[in-house]
Chain A
């Protein structure tokens, strides 16, 4: 099969590393060649964070470039817009509608483009927006936004539901398994 490219983007501290860990391991267990690329360090301090996940028969490059992503999973609205140009024609953006102001907006040096998702939809991008934060809170923790979004994106993969649940059980600490399963279901059945 041709290599598939998934981007997970968000703000440092939102839990993108857990999402990519879960996805990477699941894809390996499904028998694919997998590469997952993350950047540590500065980006953890509230900066823009991007993780690349690629899978297929044989994956060479660990990174994704403009017009290559099959799916972009975004934990935040502005970050979805920032990385939209990476989306392939006919690709899909799954985005949490949460708005986190970056410092230039906080100090009034820039404006947050509130309607940017509508703008991108009008340009023909396929965008599924959802309030994943509320669903995460409903599942038991605002930190479960990552798993809610994974649940929403899961149907795009040729992997049965049970395997996702198994992957959650294998990835998260035991005391958080039930909460994360609930978060996954809320995204999956959205």
Chain B
């Protein structure tokens, strides 16, 4: 059967048709859809875990039990799951296990541009890298057999362009999910020093065997077209190379970036006069080729930064003959922004107005950083707002405790904010933490989490009581505020900053894009009353603009949240 699938859906189909039993993941662009699509199957267990480390460990437990298992995450998620990954390499698996990781070259929706292939090398785990949806399906499906045959977890590397591009996939027969026997095996599964030291040689032998496999397998393929130019490439770079070079170059396509073949590369290199490595991000293949003593052109011609395209390849080979027409007028940027009616806006307005130093976190609310709110001072990684605030206050004491807060979303708090909050209470700074509880994981497109009361399938589930949780973690002052109420926000922030103990403000209102949220009629500006003071413009609401000197509300965008109305001193917003 032929289907037009995005890469992530193809991975989901491949895992499912490969006999998957259990999947556990934390959402993260561009990996989220893998697990979303898997959750539509009723014959497997699927779940959103609180973070990637938990997800990876759940997949380990399922594998131990004999099921084929998987987890999926974005590249920075693998940092969180790195701890189980490195020792999973030693234990190996019972049921096959696949860890899907999606890189984001050009940072369409990420805070860095790290290259996951380093993790495969460092943890000594094989990695597969598809170049389109068909390969995403085939590689994912085959990964379980690879995992079981070589007794190893398998990393499946996606990137944004493969994950979010649709191409045609021919689906093959589904394999039945089989639950293998579980037998107690302390030497293999209890990684204390005496056991682990015996597993390390196994890992090295396995890498040697996998290198042999890499010499001749379906993942690495050669197209001999030319004895002048040879190109070693992988993933979406392969597509750009084919688009431009067609049959004008010989191509070694690497579908298994770890471990890399040796003889295959030597043979390929010996058959061409000039050898190139074309790979996005870091020079992983290039350094390997150079380590074999082979002369190759790589990063000096193809950047270590960002994404490639067919134009990158055409320019490098002096084949770029296309150019377009540009307007002379300046084209203003259109950055993403908080939606009209976003519940985060009221709180950010309050923080910005009171010139509070704000330690930010990862989610929609990172958009509080952009003009005109300019509310954030830092954003590092999931959970860093709270621990960062604590460290900031440790360094500067009372001077900053009265003027700084951390902001973190409900899902991010579950992911890795709790431990930071424990630290605030335990090591006693008078830090003020604001949990922006919009009752959903927003930025990745509305996934449930442990605070929402629903599981991945939308069925009712245990719901974390944030107030009780914060108290249990050692915070005595916990209060809830409605971010649509600007006065209440200001009172809460001022009072909690003033007190001589740590406190948590839960800024609670569901995301305005949730279907369950009832929208209010659009507000309007009475132009006769508007004095053009532009105070409402300070909110950075996309629905409000100045037209002919007066504020104007776009009725197709406004959801009637009423925050701007509270700011107008002339009752012009009705």
Contacts and interface: CB of A to CB of B under 8 A. Distances in A.
Do A and B actually bind?
Answer: yes
Interface of A: 11-12, 24-25, 28, 33-48, 59-63, 65-68, 78-79, 81-82, 84-88, 101-113, 115-116, 119-120, 123-125, 142
B294 interface: no
Given A36-B166, A41-B29, A46-B339, A81 B331 contact: yes
A81 B323 contact: no
Contact of A81 (B329, B445, B537): B329
B543 to A, nearest CB: 9
B367 A45 contact: yes
Nearest to A79: B334
A99 B303 CA distance: 37
13 contacts: A42-B336, A45-B336, A45-B337, A60-B239, A60-B240, A62-B161, A65-B309, A66-B311, A84-B324, A107-B371, A111-B330, A111-B332, A142-B556
A34 B325 contact: no
Nearest to B108: A39
Interface in B289-340: 309-311, 322-339
A45 B364 contact: yes
A8 to B, nearest CB: 13
Interface residues on B, range: 35 or more
A59 to B, nearest CB: 8
Contacts of B334: 11, 46-48, 78-79, 82, 102-103
B164 interface: yes
B64 to A, nearest CB: 34
B397 interface: no
A80 B371 CA distance: 24
A113 B329 CA distance: 6
B468 interface: no
A31 to B, nearest CB: 11
B165 A62 contact: yes
Contact of B335 (A47, A78, A86, A120): A47
B325 A106 contact: no
Interface string B233-249: 00010011011000000
Given A45-B339, A65-B311, A112 B161 contact: no
B520 interface: no
A48 to B, nearest CB: 4
B372 interface: yes
B108 A84 contact: no
Contacts of A43: 108-109, 336
A43 B367 CA distance: 12
A46 B108 contact: no
B411 to A, nearest CB: 15
B381 interface: no
A89 B328 CA distance: 18
Contacts, number: 189
A37 B108 contact: no
- The secondary-structure label for the interface of chain B is loop
Contacts of A37: 161, 164-166
A4 to B, nearest CB: 14
B165 A41 contact: no
A61 B310 contact: yes
B327 A67 contact: no
A24 B164 CA distance: 13
Contacts of B332: 78, 102, 104-105, 110-113
Nearest to A120: B327
Given A24-B4, A104-B332, A112-B332, 9 more contacts: A35-B165, A36-B167, A37-B165, A46-B339, A61-B239, A78-B331, A101-B545, A105-B332, A107-B372
Contacts of B2: 28
B537 A119 contact: no
Given A84-B325, A87-B324, A108-B546, A44 B243 contact: no
Contacts of B165: 35-38, 62
A182 B360 CA distance: 47
Contacts of A78: 331-332, 334
A74 B421 CA distance: 47
Contacts of A46: 334, 336-337, 339, 542
Interface string B476-500: 0000000000000000000000000
A-B pairs with the 3 shortest C-beta distances?
Answer: A41-B109, A67-B322, A85-B324
B444 interface: yes
Nearest to A102: B334
Contacts of B164: 37-40
> Looking at B164, B327, B333, B335, which has the most chain A CB atoms within 10 Å of its CB?
B327
Interface in B19-34: 29-30, 32-33
A67 B324 contact: yes
B544 interface: yes
Contact of A47 (B6, B242, B337, B545): B337
Contacts of A88: 322, 324
Nearest to A87: B324
A172 B325 CA distance: 35
Interface string B516-551: 000000000000000000000100101011100000
B167 A35 contact: yes
Contacts of B556: 142
B339 to A, nearest CB: 6
Given A28-B168, A61-B239, A107-B371, A82 B325 contact: no
Nearest to A82: B331
A110 B200 CA distance: 60
Nearest to B544: A106
B160 interface: yes
Nearest to B556: A142
A79 B364 CA distance: 23
Given A24-B166, A41-B30, A113-B330, A85 B338 contact: no
A125 B325 contact: yes
B443 interface: yes
B242 A103 contact: no
A21 B44 CA distance: 27
A55 to B, nearest CB: 11
A83 to B, nearest CB: 9
A12 B336 contact: yes
Interface string B342-378: 0000000000000000000000100100111000000
Contacts of A11: 334
Given A79-B334, A105-B332, A39 B160 contact: yes
A67 B325 CA distance: 8
B546 A66 contact: no
A123 B537 CA distance: 36
Contact of B337 (A34, A41, A103, A125): A103
